[in-house]
Amino acid sequence: MNEIDRLIAEESDEGVRVDKFLLKLLPESGLRERRRLIENGFVMVNGRSCRSGLKMFPGAEVVLLEPAEFSCTVDILARVKVVRQGEGFAAVFKPEGLHSAAIAGSVESSVEDCLPGIFAGQEPILANRLDYLTSGMLLVAFGVERENEFRAYEDCGTVDKIYHAKVYGTPEESFICKNLLDTADRKRTKVLDEQAPSERWSRVELLESYEDGTSLLEVRIAKGARHQIRAHLAHAGFPIVGDPVYGRDDGADRMYLHHREIKFSGFAAVCETGWE
């Protein structure tokens, strides 16, 4: 691996964690990105790999290595599972805390990075995305023709994507969130007063209520927008447990949103949540 940069810690850096110290070398990076670099051995302190919590000391030499082999690490492959593979399409499971798609200029791994290794020689194309904190199924199309076929199904509203969400509050009856969404801000989607096209609606049904005031909802969409279910449910008064953007600061161990099922012409796949 080639060296990208290096820096010597000063007296003012004493006691600073190495994952924070790395901001001096990667000022535009996020904490998760820096920790991933450290965990995968691309950061050396005095010639040795280290832990994210290592405290800096004056004179320590920190070297940042080029993550040439970072695209799909062994730990990522172990977490991504093929749920179903058919003619033209496949569904794979993505756990929470993992990116769906490759991010330009980022060193963080994604499921998309791993697809050529999982489906060698089949021209795998990521056909849908899930938020970093959302678990569940990603659809893979084999070739551009199949990808275009799926897009056409989405545009016609004939794709059925079913999510399970654990939320605060209990709706009295089923309802539909029809609000148009403004996704210009990548960090937070804005719910507008106008009505969205029907393929962008979120159809909500109560599955179970719990004594702690939370409930399990089934949410069906045909063609999702960024943060659609998260924003729609919060706007309706039922924020998802563990949602750090639209929910509460509740200290939950994860965000409880899972893409459980997908169905369209000639293809169907189901992946249980594991937390119900």
- What is residue 69's predicted lDDT score, i.e. its pLDDT? 47
Task: Please report the pLDDT score of residue 186 as a whole number.
Answer: 80
pTM for the whole thing? 0.74
Q: How large a percentage of the chain has pLDDT more than 70?
A: 92
Report how many helices (DSSP H) and strands (DSSP E) the chain contains, helices first: 6, 16
What sign does the CA torsion over 235, 236, 237, 240 have? negative
pLDDT in tens, 183-237: 988 889 999 999 999 999 999 999 999 999 999 999 999 999 999 999 999 999 9
pLDDT at 241: 97
pLDDT for res 73: 64
3-65 folds as 3.10.290
Locate 68 and state its tokens: 């040439």
Low-confidence ranges of the chain (pLDDT < 50): 69-70
CA distance 36 to 174: 41
For the domain with range 74-270, which CATH number is right: 3.30.2350.10, 3.30.9.10, 1.10.760.10, 3.30.1280.10? 3.30.2350.10
Which residues make up the CATH 3.30.2350.10 domain(s) of the chain? 74-270
